[in-house]
């Protein structure tokens, strides 16, 4: 198995505060990997480093062997990293279909002029984009709601749409930031099935942040536990979750 994502001693400090300090992990291709830890442990900051929102002040990270450190968000996305956000960030005034088509933007090509003057390539490419977008929406059971305004979707479906949009950029690595936040147990169960399906169907490597331990234990093969920006424990999920240090970090002294 080849390594999809590798971070080496990755870190960032804001002023004097080390939000992430020396994060090293290695995720194999096709793996479902969890990043867990108490609130404020630096998990989302780690995601922001991996997507170029912040530039790391120390360390490096590699996608499929290629060094991505220092690249912009857009470049990193083009290299194959896509993400969702903890507080959903959909394009609220756009339809469900258009949200996914924005995700497809860089995978299909016609110029602004071709669009404005409705040249032949416009119709052809738009048709392909529609087909591809509906195919993606179908995976998440959203195809029937393609014309709805994305902000009018119920919460659970908004989360799914965000995943569909991220997948539309055809990434190698998918970062999910608390995908189950705000879901009830049944929705969470469905989400677990969906995530597994995405991994198998798209041959995807997935790194996710989650507080719901049932979800983490249920689908993640390996986890890294962050606490105050540093790695507290790392390894196979079941054994890490039983680690007394980890239990202590979660439950307090």
What residues numbered 213-252 form the site for another protein, per CB under 8 A?
none
Q: Report how many residues bind another protein under the rule CB under 8 A.
A: 47
Residue among 82 and 246 whose Cβ is closer to another protein: 82
Interaction of residue 83 with another protein, rule CB under 8 A: yes
SS3 content of the chain, % helix, strand, coil (to 5): 45, 25, 30
Edge-first strand listing for the sheet containing 58-63: 17-28, 3-14, 58-63, 66-67
Three-state SS at 72: coil
In the complex, least distance from residue 12 CB atom to another protein, rounded to whole angstroms: 12
The DSSP call for residue 95 is B
**Binding track, positions 116-145, relative to another protein; x by CB under 8 A:** xxx---x--xx--x----------------
- CA dihedral sign of residues 83, 195, 172, 227: positive
First to last CA, the chain: 40
Site for another protein in 14-73 (CB under 8 A): 39-40, 44, 48, 51, 53, 73
Instruction: Record the tokens describing residue 134, joined without a space.
Output: 């509906």
Rounded least distance, CB 207 to another protein, Å: 15
Among residues 64, 98, 187, 190, the one that binds another protein under rule CB under 8 A: 98
Our finding on whether 151 is near another protein (CB under 8 A) is yes
């Amino acid at each position: 198995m080849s390594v999809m994502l590798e971070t080496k001693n990755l870190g960032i400090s804001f002023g004097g505060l080390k939000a992430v300090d020396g994060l090293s992990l290695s995720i194999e291709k096709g793996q479902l990997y969890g990043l867990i830890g108490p609130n404020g442990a630096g998990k989302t900051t780690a995601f922001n480093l991996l997507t170029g929102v912040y530039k790391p002040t120390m360390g490096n990270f590699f996608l499929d062997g290629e060094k991505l450190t220092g690249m912009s968000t857009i470049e990193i996305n083009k290299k194959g990293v896509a993400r969702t956000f903890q507080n959903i960030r959909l394009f609220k005034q756009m339809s469900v279909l258009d949200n996914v088509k924005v995700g497809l933007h860089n995978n299909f090509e016609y110029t602004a002029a071709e669009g404005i003057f409705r040249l032949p390539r416009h119709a052809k490419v738009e048709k392909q984009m529609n087909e591809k977008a509906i195919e993606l929406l179908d995976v998440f059971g959203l195809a029937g709601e393609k014309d709805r305004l994305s902000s009018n979707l119920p919460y659970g479906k908004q989360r799914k749409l965000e995943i569909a949009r991220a997948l539309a950029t055809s990434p190698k690595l998918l970062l999910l930031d608390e995908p189950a936040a705000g879901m009830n147990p049944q929705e969470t169960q469905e989400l677990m099935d969906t995530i597994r399906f995405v991994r198998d169907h798209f041959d995807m490597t997935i790194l996710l942040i989650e507080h719901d331990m049932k979800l983490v234990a249920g689908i993640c093969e390996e986890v890294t536990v962050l606490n105050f920006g540093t790695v507290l424990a790392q390894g196979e999920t079941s054994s890490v979750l039983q680690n007394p240090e980890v239990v202590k970090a979660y439950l307090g002294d």
